[in-house]
Amino acid sequence: MGTQDAVTAQDAVLARDGTGTRARASGEVLLGLALFGLYSLVAMLPEQAREHAARRHGALVHGLERALHLDVEPALNGWLAGRPGLRLLADYEYATTYAAAAFALLVWLFLRHPERYRTARNAFVMINVVAIACFALFPVAPWGSPPAERADRLAAVPSLPMAWTLWVGAELARAKARRWVRALNGAHIAVTAYVIVAAADHHVLDAVAAVPLVALSVLAAGRLAARPQAAERVPAQDAFFLAVETGTAPQHAGGVIMLDTSRRALGRLDLVRLIGDRLDRLPRFRQRLADRGRWRRPVWLDHPAVDWSWHVTERDVDGMDGLRAMIAEIQAEPLPRDRPLWRMILVTGAAPGRTTLVFLMHHVVADGVGVVAQAISLMEPAAPAPGASAVPDGPKEAAPPPRRRVREALAGVVGLAQLAADSGVGAAPPARLPAAGTAERRFGTLRIPLDDPRTIARRHGTRVSDVVMCAVAGGLARTVRPAGGEPPRECRVAVPLMMRSPGQGMEGNHTTAVMVDLPIGAMPEAERLAEIARRSRVLRSGTRALAAWFVMRQVGRLMPAPLHARFARAVYGGRFLQGIVSSLPASRERLLLTGVPVTGVYPVVPLAPGAPLAVAALGVDRELCFGICADTGLVDDAGALAAAVRDVVRELRDE
């Protein structure tokens, strides 16, 4: 993903999803098929044993009806049997109208009243699950046999046609449908009650049993919908970064925001007021993690009060070297989990007329683009309105069409095979860069004109992301000198790729990664760039990214929490990668923070456990800003590595 490369809805991350979003139709269809499958399983149970019990239970029901003087079924059936035309209509009514009415109501609510759909659907599911359980545990045969041959002969109590029709009436009333619609359904209830007794040989009590079933299901669904919202569980792709965090590899990301305060000062209280005014759009700024034990993933809980004295602080440094040393120091300190996982430090002294805002946020909250979006949400111009995008991304689909979903599934299968081959199962592990393996860090910064990598990419027929990787690889070739050994000729890095969909909020990780082996041996830089461009084609195949995202999100979600944590620690670290190289999308607007111009943003990316390098580049105001985080065993001076990266870019530009 290059700085100029398309990122899926890179500006849509600034818009929060609205309430009442509609459930996906495909999921609802699958739920319906699952209910039908459950009913079919019960119907497939051995009939011989169930039939004996069903007839015995039917005799009990009929005996109870006689005691209550409700045994009117033979009389009603006899009257209808003498009228063939009405009998035919009754058969059609029994076979079709209750199902048609129920499905029509579901579609109507789904399309016209999505805020009521989920509650109504939940009630419908409860009715069917309870009824199916009754059919399995307490089968009841109808009082007559010939007409009942058309349906399940062992599923009379409760009457599902009656239950569905009553449920339609209850939901029409709750949705305040028009009076004539409710009156028509009332007539339908009366006709259904007559037909199931007179034409389908149900007992009267079969229909009566549907009344409390529907009432209790509708009431229970309503109570569930009215409950206070449960605490939000941390998704698998976010919990991944909690699992991999260690004392020597904290997992907070962020940015070093350079501000021009030559004309207007910016103080800590200005920042506190700004954040306080916008807390409603930044939920993670006022939430903390709550651990629920080894077998359950943590949840987000509201924190009673923001400790401004800790979250927003001030420091003074001695020049840019002092600023870099301070950032390296706080990169080595894990964020405490007993409070919201963010921190801001207002720094003076880095340069004359400049104030620096260091913004850090744990990776469990958001990926790199999400962290940038959270920072931008504090700035002016205001974030785009929901659904708007400052950079057109082409047509946006609410859900991929079926053919596309099939193609993506097939691509994911191919991608899994490719990832397995890329990992080199059974082959020698990738070369390791020197590392001290401690929490101590070195941090470097670099700015180059954004036009330089763009010009280089056009000249060589590559992408800006390839130029960034080449600059990092060339910089490593010029600076890494392992003690007592030859420097490795290759370095395997993870390149993050965005999987963010339009309309997704700023929170959460929507990033996957694909591995690329960078050549870091001595060679002409043009040759190195050509080789990296060839190897980086794996980033644009799409199949690997889809497969890695599937594993990260879906497979991780299905794993028990302890197994998922072990998986995360196994795949994200020095065993499989030696660095991270990320190109974040460029901002095309001049930004202000409380009226103060933003002149640059250096990304801060955490090291993966056991991996000694993390580099990110972000385009801001016609410049490409690099943030370089390195283990002290790799380089003792990150500034030297940054200078070497600049030299590679200049060499490619001037050739």
CA Rg, the chain, in Å? 32
Whether a cis peptide bond, with omega within 30° of 0, leads into 158 is: yes
Specify the residue for token string 């579901």. 106
What's the rounded mean pLDDT across residues 373-384? 69
Q: Report the share of the chain in percent with pLDDT over 70.
A: 75
Cβ-proximal residues to 130 (8 Å cutoff; 6+ apart), any chain: 213, 217
Least confident range from 121-135, 322-336, 391-405: namely: 391-405
What distance in Å separates the CA atoms of residue 234 and residue 242, rounded to the nearest whole number?
10
Can you give the pLDDT at residue 1?
Answer: 36
pLDDT tens for 58-97 read: 667 666 766 766 666 666 666 766 677 676 776 667 777 8
Can you give the pLDDT at residue 504?
Answer: 61
pLDDT tens for 138-187 read: 777 666 544 444 455 555 567 778 888 899 989 998 888 888 988 998 98
What's the rounded mean pLDDT across residues 117-137? 85
The answer to whether 199 touches 80, Cβ cutoff 8 Å, is yes
Cβ-proximal residues to 532 (8 Å cutoff; 6+ apart), any chain: 462, 466, 469, 470, 473, 516, 518, 519
Can you give the pLDDT at residue 382?
Answer: 37
Where do the domains of the chain lie? Answer: 12-17+234-383+404-654, 45-226
The answer to whether 376 touches 368, Cβ cutoff 8 Å, is no
635, with CB counted inside 10 A (0-12, 13-18, 19+), is buried
What's the rounded mean pLDDT across residues 638-642? 95
Can you give the pLDDT at residue 627?
Answer: 96
Cβ-proximal residues to 445 (8 Å cutoff; 6+ apart), any chain: 256, 320, 324, 602, 625, 626, 627, 628, 642
Specify the residue for token string 């041959």. 149
The answer to whether 200 touches 92, Cβ cutoff 8 Å, is no
Sheet of 441-449: strand order equals: 441-449, 623-631, 613-620, 579-587, 490-498, 511-519
Can you give the pLDDT at residue 47?
Answer: 63
Q: Which pair of tokens denotes residue 538?
A: 């794996």
Q: Which pair of tokens denotes residue 155?
A: 């599923």
69, with CB counted inside 10 A (0-12, 13-18, 19+), is exposed
Q: Which fold has domain 12-17+234-383+404-654?
A: Chloramphenicol Acetyltransferase (3.30.559)
Backbone angles phi, psi at 439, to 5 degrees: -80, -15
State the number of CA atoms in the 13 A half-sphere of 168 facing the CB.
27
Can you give the pLDDT at residue 50?
Answer: 64
Q: Report the share of the chain in percent with pLDDT over 90.
A: 38
What's the rounded mean pLDDT across residues 509-533? 92
pLDDT tens for 563-607 read: 989 988 988 988 889 999 998 877 777 888 888 999 999 999 999
What distance in Å separates the CA atoms of residue 269 and residue 272, rounded to the nearest whole number?
5
How confident is the prediction for the chain on average, in pLDDT? 80
pLDDT tens for 277-331 read: 888 888 899 999 999 888 889 999 998 888 999 999 999 999 999 999 999 999 9
Q: Give 544's pLDDT tier (boundaries 50, 70, 90).
A: confident
pLDDT at 398 over 60: no
Q: Which pair of tokens denotes residue 528?
A: 């190195």
Strands 354-362 and 342-348: antiparallel
Specify the residue for token string 């009929």. 62
What's the rounded mean pLDDT across residues 244-269? 93
